[in-house]
Structure 1
């Protein structure tokens, strides 16, 4: 029942809170190890989150772990989506779920951050499915705006614009594409969901 009402019961990424104000927070995140998969949503009837099952199978969220040990790996939050327009543009992966435009068509890269006990990529179990890739991301800094409800395209666009304006007004330099972080499963009631717009800054 707790998860239906928005309770977050899984590990979340560690970060240092650098600044907090009414409009946003500035956070510095610690290095992380991730598992990711890239696919075309058309493979999953247009579902952008269609690759979720490949990663869930890797960590053993729904049954036996599909990795070489096999070792069950704890689920983490948030799921993060990163969108960038551009033909063939390579995007640095910085979170669990990444969406990017590639080669004129949409490709989705979904990414889970693995639990903090994995300090290096080689410490994580090797995936059985070769579509699942393990990697590392270093320390990074974000301007973050938190909001509840359903993260529809229109809501995200509005929040993104407001966050950009606030960060630029206060002298922060934006250095990458925004990310949408979703902390709750789909069955969480909309008013109790936790979402965040995250913009990389320096």
Structure 2
């Protein structure tokens, strides 16, 4: 019942709030270890969350853990997803952080293919890549993200493309008005499972800043 009503019962990333306004927070996140998968949504029947099952299998959320230690890894929140454009034929860079964003699959104008990267942030006990069990599925990449700083806005409801776009634009304007330099693309973080009532869901848009 708690999760249906939006209660977050799993570990969330530690962070420091550097500034809080009526419009946003500035947060600093320490280094963390993540598991990520990058995929073409056109190969997943257009499902923007098509990487979830791959990552869930790695940690053992859907059955036996698909890693070299057969070690169950605790689920954390949020699930992070980011869409990005890649030149067709080029190798996909595995360096982008993630949260959730709608996107169009297939080849876009200008010969670019839209790709999606989804990440699970591993529990804090995994301090280094070497500490985490090795995935059996080669599509899963384990890597470390260094310290980073974001402007963040929180909202409830369904994180549709239109809602996310409005939140991103509003956050970007507010940050630039206050003198922050935006240094990357936005991320969308979702903290609740799909069965949580929409008005009880917690979502956040992140924009990296200097």
TM superposition score category, shorter chain reference: over 0.9
Q: TM-score, normalised by structure 2?
A: 0.90
**Residue 94 (structure 1) aligns with:** 97
* Residues 132-173 of structure 1: CA deviation (Å, up to 9, x unaligned): 111000000000000000111111111111101110010000
Instruction: Describe the superposition over 1:26-76 as per-residue Cα deviations: whole angstroms up to 9, x where unpaired.
Output: 000010001111111122211011111111000000111010011000001
**1:158 is aligned to 2:161:** no
Q: Deviations over 1:87-130 (max 9, x none)?
A: 36847322466889986112211111100000000110011111
Residues matched between the structures, number: 202
The match for 2:146 among 134, 138, 150 is 138
Partners of 2:84 and 2:116 within 8 A in 1:
no
Question: How far apart, CA to CA, are the structure 2 residues paired with 1:119 and 1:96?
Answer: 21
**Alignment check: 8 A CA contact 2:183 2:208 kept:** yes
Q: What CA distance in whole angstroms lies between the structure 2 residues aligned with 1:98 and 1:154?
A: 10
Which residue of structure 2 aligns with residue 79 of structure 1? 79
Residue 12 of structure 2 is matched in structure 1 by 12
Choose the corresponding residue for 1:184, options 181, 192, 195: 192
Please give the alpha-carbon distance, in whole angstroms, between the structure 2 residues aligned to 1:40 and 1:133: 16
Unaligned runs of 5+ in 1: none
How far 1:185 moved relative to its partner? Answer: 0.7
Distance 1:126 1:90, change over 3 A: closer
Q: What is the distance in 2 between the residues matched to 1:121 and 1:95?
A: 18
Q: CA RMSD in A?
A: 2.0
Paired residue for 1:65? 65
- How far apart in 1 are the matches of 2:190 and 2:206? 11
Structure 2: unaligned runs, 5 residues or longer: none
Partner of 1:167: 175
Question: 1: distance between equivalents of 2:208 and 2:83?
Answer: 13
